[in-house]
Amino acid sequence: MKIITKYIKIIERMDQLIRLQATGPPEDFASRLCLSKTKFYRMLKLMKKLDAPIIYDIDIKSFVYEEPVGFSFGFYAYEDTKVNTGAFAEDKNIIKQSDLAKKSAGF
């Protein structure tokens, strides 16, 4: 599990530097990330497999996105309060944890 979170953190940092157009040449970018050149290119390839439209802009000497994109990984609360209050669970016939506790206690 540690390796997955490590990769995600690297991708998040790469994404941040690419957005800022502050990567510098590939060797500098790899160095900033504390990665070998080989591992850096593997991570870049992985991002491209995930459909990141990354190119290298020789004029500004930085990797950039060809088009606006976003990278997000993790769990986030829904904006809709109906979902947060458990109404979603009731709509989908899913047993909520509180209901399960009541049933097992004989309520």
Cβ-Cβ contacts under 8 Å for 54 (sequence gap 6 or more)? 18, 44, 47, 48, 63, 64, 65, 66
pLDDT single digits (tens) 31-84: 999 999 999 999 999 999 999 999 999 999 999 999 999 888 877 777 755 544
pLDDT single digits (tens) 71-83: 888 777 777 555 4
C-beta of residue 32 within 8 angstroms of C-beta of residue 17: yes
pTM listed for this prediction: 0.67
Domains of the chain, earliest start first: 2-65 (1.10.10), 77-107 (no CATH)
Q: Does the CA dihedral 21-24-26-29 come out positive or negative? A: negative
HSE-CB at 38 with a 13 A cutoff on CA atoms is 0
C-alpha–C-alpha distance, residues 65 and 19, integer Å: 7
